[in-house]
Amino acid sequence: MYELTVRDHFDAAHTLRGYQGECSRLHGHTWDVDVTIAGERLDSVGIVYDFKRLKADLHGILQSYDHAFLDEVRPFDEVNATAENLARVVFEHLSEELDASVRLVEVSVWESPVAKLTYRP
């Protein structure tokens, strides 16, 4: 089994509606997002999945969040833009983009250099 991981990031602001504490107020993060895919077969070139393609797939998803107020971006206009919800939403969107030859293993969201959340279904 081969596993491939790429990272991208975006800057955005949000609030945590219903949270008791300072994070209920407007604040922002530079969110780093790691995605890991896995596959068993290599193509004729000898790769499981093109790094460049996976980076582009992830970037395409994250660009709609970059420099946005996430509370106004679907689905975060209805659910809080927590690391948990961000990881799940990115996982769901990226799952739709990948070839059947690989599977999405996990999505990790870093909301600071020392705080990471990982989603695996």
Give yes or no: 93 in active site.
no
- Please state whether 83 falls in left (phi above 0), alpha (psi between -120 and 50) or beta: alpha
Catalytic residue among 27, 40, 67, 72: 67
* Residue whose structure tokens are 């491939």: 4
Catalytic residue among 3, 23, 40, 72: 23
How are the residues of the chain apportioned to helix, strand and coil, as percentages rounded to the nearest 5?
Answer: 25, 35, 35
Give yes or no: 111 in active site.
yes
* Rounded-to-integer distance, Cα 69 and Cα 92, Å: 21
Give yes or no: 67 in active site.
yes
- The residues annotated with a catalytic role in the active site are 23, 67, 111
